[in-house]
Structure formats: structure tokens, C-alpha cells
């Protein structure tokens, strides 16, 4: 039996055919997840389901940054593994040239005096 209800996010009418009350359905218009209310439920009942849907969406948003953090942690490790040896090599080459230039400079100064 099809259940009709209003999206809590965009107020679009949603019709579900194969889902049961209490399950979540994504709104075709805005993508918001709605908890399906009991068919022919009272206004209060559908408002409650709307609130439940809002809480569920907030909960999902709260858990999202965690996964982003996990990805960034892996990325950070990858960056460290990739760039630290390069940075060290550049630093070593830089220091070596600085040392050579310093020696040349010292030699020039000793020749001058
Ligand atoms: Zn919607």
C-alpha cells in the first residue's frame, strides 16, 4: 500500500510504495531523508516523524566530519611519507650548496688578506 506524506525539508509530497512506516525515504525533490509516518496519521504524528527525520539528518551530519577527519588523517600520513624525504633532500642539497658557497667565500677572504 502506498503511503503519502510531506517532506519535512521542502514540503514536497512524497509517495512510497514499497517502504514501511518507520523506514527512511529520500525526497526526490531535495534529497532529505524522511522517516515514513503511519498511513493516515494525524497532523501531530506526521510532525513528530518530521522532527525524527530532522534529528536523523543532524545525527548523520555530526558523524560525517569524523569520516572526513579519518580521510584527512590518511592523507596527512601520505603527504608526510611523500614529502618529508623530498623536503629533507632539498634541505640537504641546500645546506651543501650553502656550505660550498661559505667555503668559497672564506677562501676568497683569506686570499684577499
Ligand atoms: Zn524534500
Written as tens digits, the pLDDT of the chain (113 aa) is 788 889 989 999 999 999 988 999 999 999 999 999 887 656 666 677 778 888 887 777 777 666 555 667 777 788 788 888 888 888 888 888 888 888 888 888 887 76
pLDDT of residue 70: 65
- Ion ligand 1 nearby residues (CB, 5 A): 7, 9-10, 12, 27, 29-30, 32
Ligand 1 centre distance from Cα of residue 12 (Å): 5
pLDDT of residue 76: 77
Ligand 1 centre distance from Cα of residue 13 (Å): 8
**Which whole-number Å values give the CA distances from 48 to 3, 34, 43, 45, in the listed order?**
16, 11, 9, 5
Amino acid at each position: 500500500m502506498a503511503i503519502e506524506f510531506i517532506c519535512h525539508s521542502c514540503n514536497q509530497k512524497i509517495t512510497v510504495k514499497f517502504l514501511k512506516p518507520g523506514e527512511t525515504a529520500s525526497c526526490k525533490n531535495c534529497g532529505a531523508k524522511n522517516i515514513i509516518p503511519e498511513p493516515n496519521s494525524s497532523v501531530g504524528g506526521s510532525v513528530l516523524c518530521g522532527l525524527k527525520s530532522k534529528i536523523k539528518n543532524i545525527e548523520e551530519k555530526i558523524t560525517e566530519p569524523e569520516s572526513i577527519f579519518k580521510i584527512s588523517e590518511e592523507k596527512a600520513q601520505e603527504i608526510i611519507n611523500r614529502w618529508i624525504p623530498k623536503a629533507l633532500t632539498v634541505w640537504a642539497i641546500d645546506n651543501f650548496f650553502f656550505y660550498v658557497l661559505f667555503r668559497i667565500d672564506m677562501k676568497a677572504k683569506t686570499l684577499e688578506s
